[in-house]
Amino acid sequence: MADISVEDKVIVRIFGEDYPIAANGNAAYISKVADFVDSRMRAVSRRSRSQARDKVAILAAMSIASELVEKRDSLSAAESLIASDFDQLLARLDGVIDDN
C-alpha cells in the first residue's frame, strides 16, 4: 500500500518492506500494483511451508505470471474467434452483394 509520496516517487510497502518506486505521475496506479503484489505474496506465504522472502517472491511471481499467461491465451482465443466470425460475415455480405 502507498504510504508516502516524495516528489516523483511513491513509497510502497510490499511484504513488510518499503520500496521507493518512480511514480511517473501515476502514484495511484503504482500503489494499486504494489497492493496486488503484496496481497499475492501474503497469500503464497500463508500456503507455503517456506517463509523465506525470496522463495515467497518467486512463487508469487509464478502465480502472477500464470494468471497473465492464462489471460493472454484467453484473449488470443477470443481474438481468433472474432476474426473468424468477421471473415464469415464478410463472405456472406459479399455473397448478398454479388447476388444483387
Q: What is the DSSP letter of 24?
A: T
21-80 pLDDT, tens digit each = 998 889 999 999 999 999 999 999 999 888 899 999 999 999 999 999 999 999 999 999
| 90 is a domain residue | no
Per DSSP (E only), the strands in 1-100 are 2-6, 9-14, 17-22
pLDDT at 6: 47
| 99 is a domain residue | no
Q: Which domain does 17 fall in, by range? A: 2-74
- Phi and psi torsions of 7, nearest 5°: 50, -115
5-23 pLDDT, tens digit each = 446 899 999 999 999 999 8
pLDDT beyond 90 at 100: no
Return all residues near 25 (Cβ < 8 A) that are at least 6 apart: 8
| 93 is a domain residue | no
